[in-house]
Amino acid sequence: MLEIKDLHASVEDKEILKGLNLHVKAGEVHAIMGPNGAGKSTLASIVAGKEEYEVTEGNILLDGEDIEELAAEERAHKGIFLSFQYPVEIPGVTVTNFMKTAINETRKAQGLEEMPAKDMLKKIREKSELLDIDRKFLSRSLNQGFSGGEKKRNEIFQMAMMEPKLAILDETDSGLDIDALRIVANGVNKLKSKDNAVIVITHYQRLLDHIVPDFVHVLYDGKIVKSGTKELALELEEKGYDWIKEEINA
């Protein structure tokens, strides 16, 4: 599904990704870990198509198609979802209404008719029940006064509604409490299927106590320097990143 080959990327002439390779197949959950400043968020932004980053070498293929020339919006329409794409506060626009608009705009871009109101309601009901989101939450103003956990809940609800082919969750917030972590983990576990893939980026092993990734990668100094299964996450938790540094320099 996603194939990243020898990706080099810079921001303001500083090279941040330095030959990164990653291969994600449908049905898989990948965790990307690594020390602060390694380039994890940069990778997420580049795959999603944010424009401040310049790809200087390498390719990003989605289902075999090179997506480098596509704008962020076009990538979203092809099914790439990056968490916190919509962090705006919109007074008077509810969680539900925002979602209806997002879905219908995507459908329009794909040449489809608006989703009939009845189907939309059904989908909202199904997804909110699946994720244990109550009705009161759905009628709140988007992001207004949301706690950390509520922001996560909204994000996971957006992901459930958009049904992305590839979801990238960048858990940058070091202040995530255990409830917020559970919301994210529960969402990923319930939404994963054989047809989609999830990349969870995290600095913290504890998120992976609740999500069992198929693969764990260490991103260090702009490259994936080590890949393994969930045991690698436990090893990192125990030993930190210094041993990886030593392995690389050996």
Binding mask 37-76 for ligand ADP (x = CB under 6 A): xxxxxx---------x------------------------
H-helix or E-strand containing 137? helix 135-138
Which tokens go with 87?
A: 């962090």
Whether 60 contacts 66, CB under 8 Å: yes
The kind and range of the H/E element at 54 are strand 54-62
Question: Which residue's CB is nearer to ligand ADP, number 112 or number 248?
Answer: 248
Q: Report the site for ligand ADP in 107-166 (rule: CB under 6 A).
A: none
- Where would I find the H helices in 49-113? 72-77, 95-109
**Residue 51 binds what, of Mg ion, ligand ADP, none (CB under 5 to 8 Å, by partner type)?**
none
- Binding-site size, ligand ADP (CB under 6 A): 12
Reduced to 3 states, what is the DSSP secondary structure of residue 200? strand
In the complex, what is the shortest distance from the CB of residue 137 to Mg ion, in angstroms, rounded to a whole number? 27
| Choices 11-19, 118-126, 188-196, 205-213 (CB under 6 A): range interacting with ligand ADP | 11-19
The three-state secondary structure class of 208 is helix
Output 80 or 162, the one with its CB closest to ligand ADP.
80
Nearer to Mg ion, 28 or 171 (CB): 171
Site membership for ligand ADP, residue 229 (CB under 6 A): no
- Write out the binding residues for Mg ion, residues 46-65 only, by CB under 5 A: none
Minimum CB separation of residue 52 from Mg ion in Å reads 14
Pairing relation of β-strands 54-62 and 2-11?
antiparallel
Of the chain, the end-to-end C-alpha distance in Å amounts to 34
Q: Residue 11, interface with ligand ADP (CB under 6 A)? A: yes
Residue 41 in contact with Mg ion, rule: CB under 5 A:
yes
Does residue 159 contact residue 83 with C-beta atoms inside 8 Å? yes
Burial class (CB in 10 A: 0-12, 13-18, 19+), 65: exposed
Summarize as ranges the residues that interact with ligand ADP (CB under 6 A): 11-12, 16, 34, 36-42, 52
Q: Which residues bind Mg ion (CB under 5 A)?
A: 36, 40-41, 172
